[in-house]
Amino acid sequence: MKVAILVDGDFYLRRHQLEFKNKLFNITDSEEKAKIIADDLMTHCLRHLDRQKDILYRIFFYDCPPLNKKLHNPISKKSLDLSKTSMYKFRTCLHKFLVRKPSMALRLGYLDENGEWKVKPRKMKELLKGTISDSDLSDDVFYHARQKGVDMKIGLDIATLTHKKLVDKIILVSGDSDFVPASKLARREGVYFALDPMGHGIKDDLHEHIDYLSTTLPSWNRQRKE
């Protein structure tokens, strides 16, 4: 059975951080961290394959290049060059390592440059309680830019893989119910469609339009056995 694995990159990175936070706790070098996560991604995906039956067609990783614009922190008024941040270096290194992996395709959308400044959740709770004021937030705000084009690329790739009969099974690593129309299309055309939400809860409508739910995270599989 020929299998394509599609990975929602931002979702994977958030779930990976929760699952392996102890593993990465002492790693401060962005390049080293990126290499570890790229290796973990390959391991995670390949565990989905039955070596006796499955042939990997390709792994598709969907993400966005990091922004490199210059900003001013609205609280401290200090200038911020995003191209000098650890997140910029991490994301750039991660993409570099991923494209070197066998059978890996990097699909890039883009980040909306008209983003917004947000307060870190823990500090937001304190701000709402009145225990701190906005003047105490200089290092606790971050610039958030929304992804554009990623969901569309995932949907188009599912449709292309299905209509061109390139694969027999599609495994989607995501927890987003926006892919219901694409999963319905694939199943109608005879393609098995599996979802790996990496232990994250999903909506009922997504349950209805997949063939099965599975993840290869060690901790999640241990919980299933207990």
- Bridge partners, 60 (sequence order): 6, 105
16 is in which domain, residue-wise?
2-225
Label the pairing between strands 141-144 and 116-119.
antiparallel
- Residue 208, Cβ density class (10 Å: 0-12 exposed, 13-18 middle, ≥19 buried): exposed
Q: What is the CATH number of the domain that holds 165?
A: 3.40.50
Give pLDDT tens digits for 53-110. 999 999 999 999 999 988 887 777 778 888 999 999 999 999 999 999 999 999 999 9
pLDDT at 134 (0 to 100): 62
Q: Which two tokens stand for residue 110?
A: 């883009």
Q: What is the pLDDT of residue 221?
A: 44
> In angstroms, rounded to a whole number, what is the distance separating the alpha carbons of residues 216 and 221?
7
The 10s digit of each residue's pLDDT in 169-220 is: 999 999 877 888 899 999 999 999 999 999 887 777 777 888 988 888 765 4
User: What is the DSSP code (8-state) at residue 66?
Assistant: P
pLDDT tens profile 110-153: 998 888 877 777 667 666 666 666 665 666 777 788 889 999 99
Sorted by sequence, the CB contacts under 8 Å of residue 4 that are 6+ apart come out as 57, 58, 59, 60, 157, 161, 166, 167, 169, 170, 171
Please tell me the total count of domains within the chain.
Answer: 1
Alpha carbon 108 to chain centroid, angstroms: 12
pLDDT of residue 204: 76
